[in-house]
């Protein structure tokens, strides 16, 4: 049975697209057939992070408007057998997406046997973001450890609970997860950013994972590959842990404490 998973936040710049790419890739690495859709019509960044920007011929809006079918528009990842990307349009605006059109695309993906459909939501709470979350079965709410990001995440949790297809039709509620990105335990320790405990107290949803602040994220984005593929990096390992938890496995949280340097490390600065 297909599961629709939305990655959302409310606030821009928190790592939604990076997260969507790594979540979709991680699920595909586990053997699931996965499609990841860019709902950010007019901007389009998912294809860059997935490394398929030169292979986009038809996009999400083309399928919604009947100008192409899913077979034509889905881009098959060259690295992972079961992973497909549906890019956003750069030339249309968000009004090109409709509830009926989005449902048609999602139903088509379900009929094609996709296990997971990952919806990469645009920032904000306007039409594009609401359509991205409307048909979701599960939601990953992404937040940085800073006050405005947490406040916007809290707002999005409220919308997920009240404005989704499930909420409107009195169905079981969307299963919600919190993913914290760009976390630095050293900065949290001295009060420069919120602690995980403070965030959990405010948002009160299960914690899926904590992604450390890491240069590997930018390096991966610039090279056109999801950071989860870099399993030498702390961020890549943290996303892999989050995938395991998403699939019901227990994993201890890592990268939450400051690595204390030993005497010789302090002495020689290495």
- Which of 41-50, 57-66, 245-254, 259-268 has the weakest average pLDDT? 259-268
- Collapsing DSSP to helix, strand or coil, 250 comes out as coil
Return the pLDDT at 1.
86
Say if residue 240's pLDDT is above 80: yes
Say which residues have a Cβ less than 8 Å from residue 131's Cβ, sequence separation at least 6: 39, 97, 98, 99, 102
Return the pLDDT at 111.
97
Return the pLDDT at 268.
59
Where residue 124 falls among pLDDT bands split at 50, 70, 90?
confident
Say how far apart CA 159 and CA 152 lie, in whole Å: 11
Say how far apart CA 258 and CA 242 lie, in whole Å: 20
Say how far apart CA 193 and CA 189 lie, in whole Å: 8
For 23-59, how does the pLDDT look when each residue is reduced to its tens digit (9 = 90+)? 999 999 999 999 999 999 988 899 999 999 999 999 9
Q: Can you list the alpha helix ranges (DSSP code H) found in the chain?
A: 16-29, 46-50, 60-64, 70-73, 99-111, 127-134, 147-162, 165-168, 185-189, 196-203, 215-222, 234-246, 263-268
- In the DSSP assignment, the letter for residue 113 is T
- Looking at the DSSP bridge assignments, the partners of residue 120 are 7, 38
- Which of 10-14, 64-68, 108-112, 154-158 has the weakest average pLDDT? 10-14
Cβ atoms of residues 180 and 188 within 8 Å: no
- Which position has the token pair 């030169």? 54
Say if residue 145's pLDDT is above 70: yes
Distances from the Cα of 215 to the Cαs of 65, 132, 212, in angstroms? Answer: 39, 29, 10
Closest Cα to residue 48, out of 229, 200, 222? 222
């Amino acid at each position: 049975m297909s599961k629709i998973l939305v990655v959302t936040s409310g606030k821009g710049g928190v790592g939604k697209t990076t997260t969507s790419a790594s979540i979709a890739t991680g699920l595909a690495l586990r053997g699931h057939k996965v499609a990841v859709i860019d709902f950010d019509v007019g901007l389009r960044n998912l294809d860059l992070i997935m490394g398929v920007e030169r292979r986009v011929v038809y996009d999400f809006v083309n399928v919604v408007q009947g100008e192409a079918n899913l077979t034509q528009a889905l881009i098959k990842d060259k690295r992972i057998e079961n992973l497909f990307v549906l890019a956003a349009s750069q030339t249309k605006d968000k009004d090109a997406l409709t509830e009926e059109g989005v449902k048609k695309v999602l139903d088509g993906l379900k009929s094609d046997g996709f296990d997971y459909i990952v919806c990469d939501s645009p920032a904000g709470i306007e039409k594009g973001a609401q359509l991205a979350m409307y048909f979701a079965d599960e939601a990953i709410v992404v937040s940085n450890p800073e006050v405005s990001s947490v406040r916007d995440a809290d707002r999005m949790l409220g919308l997920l609970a009240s404005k989704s297809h499930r909420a409107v039709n009195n169905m079981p509620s969307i299963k919600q997860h919190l993913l914290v990105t760009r976390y630095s335990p050293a900065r949290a320790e001295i009060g420069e950013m919120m602690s995980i405990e403070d965030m959990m107290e405010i948002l009160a949803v299960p914690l899926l994972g904590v992604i450390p602040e890491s240069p590997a994220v930018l390096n991966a984005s610039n090279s056109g590959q999801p950071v989860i593929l870099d399993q030498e990096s702390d961020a890549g390992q943290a996303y892999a842990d989050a995938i395991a938890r998403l699939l019901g496995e227990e994993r201890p949280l890592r990268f939450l404490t400051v690595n204390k340097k030993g005497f010789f490390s302090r002495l020689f600065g290495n």
